[in-house]
Structure 1
Amino acid sequence: MTGTPRLDDPHAFIRAHTALMAPPMVPEVELHLAVETVAIWEQTEEALGEMGLPPPFWAFAWAGGQALARYCLDNPAIVSGLRVLDFAAGGAVSGIAAMKAGAATVEACELDAFAIAAIETNAQANGVALTTRLGDLVGTDDGWDVVLAGDVFYEAEPARLIGGWLETLNARGATVLIGDPGRSFLPQDRLERLAEYTVPVTRDLEDREVRQAKVWKYR
């Protein structure tokens, strides 16, 4: 990766490997996204793999997150004036949308330090202020009014742990909204569908050109 920013400057690294553009379902939001899927995946996975970091999930606007973002913008009362958590935020498309829809505060969490840098870079590009939090918040309850969780039900054991935690937050009164394009481990039997969107996606990532992404809440 000769000529690219050093890995000790994540914000510059992200700007060098992405372009600022709006996801298909959310023209109100601009994100630093991959232009060529395979290229950025190979380049950043090789570089960041040396640091023990996961692949660059932050460089893509995943369908579940876009669905949540669209839902928040179209239904601002769901977040207006409230404290919001954007869980496993990726590039924080849904968290940024929640701020644009009038949320009082948005906290965006991720496990990856470069994802945190992407969230900060994206928030700045959209003129909003998000609080970032690096670490695993499953099992934590900081009193959020609304929890947004996009594309989190794709592996069995994490889905079980995350689902149980989200149900607990829902039971104590938080509004828990899940954005999901048909991942294998979504607990549909315990959910109620609120909205559905046809989201253009990258064939290199999803093996198709569109996904039907739904927004759910617990029954």
Structure 2
Amino acid sequence: METTLLPVPLTPEISLHLAGGGVGLFDGTGGAFSSDVPPPFWLFVWAGGQALARHVLDHPEIVRGRTVLDVASGSGVAAIAAALAGAERVTALDVDPLAVAAAARNATANHVTVDTRTVDIADLDLPADVILAGDVFYTRTVADRMAARLRRAAREGTRILVGDPGRGYFPERLFTRVAEYDVPVPAALEETESLLTGVWEIHTTIAAG
């Protein structure tokens, strides 16, 4: 599918190679996917990633001089924001090698350095000061695996920030909301033109409970 380099609605400081505004997630994919061929989430900039990116750009002290992981990175918007905000090292991680390639391409387009790795969240074993996770609680299976790994990282002292627009599997009980944004989104994706999206932080005491 062809992409266009477009400014991100909530963070126009960042431009990404994205599908056009009238394109849905499964347009051009035959409407089906499997565990071997994930849907092309990386073609879009999702609400949770936008909110995280905006929050990091507005509060660069969160990542400045720190090592940052952007898990389930997709287009890489949060990773790019962290790099722009002065993180010492940023790594974008995704299970989909096409997403990893997209994040690298988008980092280059924004003139920042972002390392990339293809890895499943359950196998993640990279130390970091900060983990960013945007829109990662979209199915029960993914949500359970993600929550378990993020809780483990929090217990190890990593600061965890999640962007979520109210997905059905988000474990809100583990988090405290630290910010909220009205995020413009493509109607072809979300059946609405904006989503109220929270930035949430998990604390070590909550994660251990």
The two structures have a TM-score, normalised by structure 1, of: 0.87
CA distance in 2, matches of 1:40, 1:201: 13
Look at both structures and tell me which one has the larger radius of gyration over its CA atoms. Answer: 1
Q: Do the aligned partners of residues 72 and 204 (structure 1) sit closer, same or farther apart at CA in structure 2, a change above 3 Å counting?
A: same
- Which sections of structure 1, spanning at least 5 residues, go unmatched? 1-12
Q: Does 1:78 align with 2:78?
A: no
Looking at secondary structure, tell me which structure has more helix per residue. Answer: 1
The sequence identity of aligned pairs, in percent, is 44
- Which sections of structure 2, spanning at least 5 residues, go unmatched? 204-209
Q: Does 1:206 align with 2:190?
A: yes
Aligned 8 A contact 1:141 1:169 in 2: no
What is the correspondence of 1:145-164 to structure 2 with a 5 Å cutoff? 145-164=129-148
Aligned counterpart, 2:106: 122
Q: Do the aligned partners of residues 162 and 40 (structure 1) sit closer, same or farther apart at CA in structure 2, a change above 3 Å counting?
A: closer
Q: Which amino acid aligns with 1:182?
A: G
TM superposition shift of 1:190 = 1.6
Q: Which amino acid aligns with 1:209?
A: E
Q: Do the aligned partners of residues 99 and 163 (structure 1) sit closer, same or farther apart at CA in structure 2, a change above 3 Å counting?
A: same
Aligned counterpart, 2:162: 178
2:17 pairs, out of 16, 22, 32, with 32
Instruction: Tell me the alpha carbon deviations over residues 145-195 of structure 1, each in whole angstroms, 9 at most, x when there is no partner.
Output: 100001011111221111011011111110100000001111111210010
Q: How many residues align?
A: 203
Aligned counterpart, 1:22: 7
Aligned counterpart, 1:5: none
The two structures have a TM-score, normalised by structure 2, of: 0.91
Q: Which amino acid aligns with 1:19?
A: T
Q: Does 1:62 align with 2:11?
A: no
Q: Which amino acid aligns with 1:74?
A: D
Instruction: Tell me the alpha carbon deviations over residues 72-121 of structure 1, each in whole angstroms, 9 at most, x when there is no partner.
Output: 00000100011100000000000000000000111101111211111111
Aligned counterpart, 1:196: 180
